[in-house]
């Protein structure tokens, strides 16, 4: 009954099924692996400490360039970096509304002119002071002359940063967040779009601890990989379903033929003894006409 499986039509169906099922399983497992990799990366980012244990490196080693500006990778945030230059004592700012030890206060932000003043300035948070910011002149003065600082690099703050002041209207000498965007129109030189916080503060200031970058949750690509996983497994299941459906249908046809309920299409052919296009050898007519008729010369 199953000899139909050896027909050319079914050999093609079987070959397609044998190749399609493992391919769908492979692609589904590959997409599932991609999803799991993104989940693991997200978990690592969530558990990453605020301070990296890696050794200090020059600032330029962790800076990355993008069309939208400079940035640091998430794994580099909190890494110790070094930079050399001179503090711009004419441009020192305070960042209000910053909490430390459950107490309201403000950051002390000073720009470090690097590369002899020819390169972008580096925002340095030298410390935190309690209370509302007063006259910037009352803020402890930065060291004079050429200095080399070592601090923890941080990504530029944005409007989504907790405690960032985004409504404007701040007095002169204050900025709402630590970023190049908040400083570019205030100082007459370019500014790095990253900043560092010093591990030790001077005078009455307290050091500002670095903050680990907040994860934004799994990205859309992770859920795309999960969706593709389901699609490939569904495709594989559909191939199996259709093969069994065709197989069952063919078995029913062969059973009907065996019971004589249906004629076998492969067995159908021309009538015995001829092609069906004219009279056969058993026809009453012969070369001289119908039987019993007189020939051209009459009866014998």
Smallest CA-to-CA distance from 85 within 53, 54, 55, 60 is with 60
Task: Determine what percent of the chain falls in helix, strand and coil, rounding each to the nearest 5.
Answer: 35, 25, 40
Q: What is the pTM of this model?
A: 0.58
pLDDT at 293 over 50: no
What is residue 135's predicted lDDT score, i.e. its pLDDT?
58
CB count in 10 Å sphere of residue 95: 26
Gyration radius from the chain CA atoms: 43
Distance CA 151, CA 16 (A): 62
Please give the structure tokens belonging to residue 21. 């099922």
Torsion of CA 22, 28, 34, 35, to 10 degrees: -150
Mean pLDDT of the chain: 80
Rounded mean pLDDT, 283-292 = 49
What is residue 53's predicted lDDT score, i.e. its pLDDT?
67
**Strand, helix or coil for residue 184:** coil
Q: How confident is the model at residue 51 (pLDDT cuts 50, 70, 90)?
A: low
pLDDT at 287 over 60: no
Rounded mean pLDDT, 141-156 = 90
Smallest CA-to-CA distance from 215 within 81, 79, 75 is with 75
Distance CA 174, CA 236 (A): 62
Rounded mean pLDDT, 35-48 = 77
What is residue 224's predicted lDDT score, i.e. its pLDDT?
92
The model's pLDDT over 222-250, given as tens digits with 9 standing for 90+, comes to 889 999 999 999 999 999 999 999 999 88
What is residue 292's predicted lDDT score, i.e. its pLDDT?
47
| Higher per-residue pLDDT: 270 or 220 | 220
């Amino acid at each position: 009954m199953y000899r139909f499986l050896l027909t050319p039509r079914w050999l093609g169906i079987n070959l397609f099924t044998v190749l399609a099922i493992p391919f769908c399983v492979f692609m589904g497992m590959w997409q599932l692996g991609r999803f799991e990799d993104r989940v693991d990366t997200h978990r690592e980012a969530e558990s990453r400490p605020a301070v990296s244990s890696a050794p200090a490196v020059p600032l330029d080693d962790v800076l990355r360039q993008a069309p939208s500006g400079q940035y640091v990778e998430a794994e580099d945030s909190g890494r110790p970096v070094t930079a050399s230059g001179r503090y711009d004592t004419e441009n020192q700012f305070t960042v209000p509304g910053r909490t430390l030890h459950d107490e309201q206060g403000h950051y002390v932000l000073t720009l470090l002119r690097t590369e002899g003043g020819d390169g972008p300035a580096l925002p340095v948070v030298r410390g935190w002071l309690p209370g509302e910011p007063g006259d910037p002149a009352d803020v402890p003065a930065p060291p004079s002359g050429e200095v080399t600082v070592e601090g923890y690099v941080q990504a530029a703050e944005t409007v989504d940063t907790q405690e960032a002041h985004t409504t404007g209207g701040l007095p002169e000498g204050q900025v709402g967040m630590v970023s190049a965007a908040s400083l570019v129109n205030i100082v007459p030189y370019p500014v790095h779009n990253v900043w560092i916080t010093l591990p030790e503060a001077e005078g009455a200031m307290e050091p500002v601890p670095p903050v680990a970058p907040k994860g934004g949750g799994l990205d859309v690509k992770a859920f795309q990989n999960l969706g593709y996983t389901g699609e490939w497994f569904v495709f594989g299941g559909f191939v199996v379903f259709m093969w069994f459906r065709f197989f069952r249908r063919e078995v029913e046809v062969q059973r009907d033929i065996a019971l004589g309920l249906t004629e076998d299409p492969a067995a159908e052919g021309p009538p015995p003894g001829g092609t069906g296009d004219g009279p056969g050898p058993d026809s009453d007519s012969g070369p001289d006409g119908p039987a019993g008729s007189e020939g051209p010369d009459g009866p014998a």
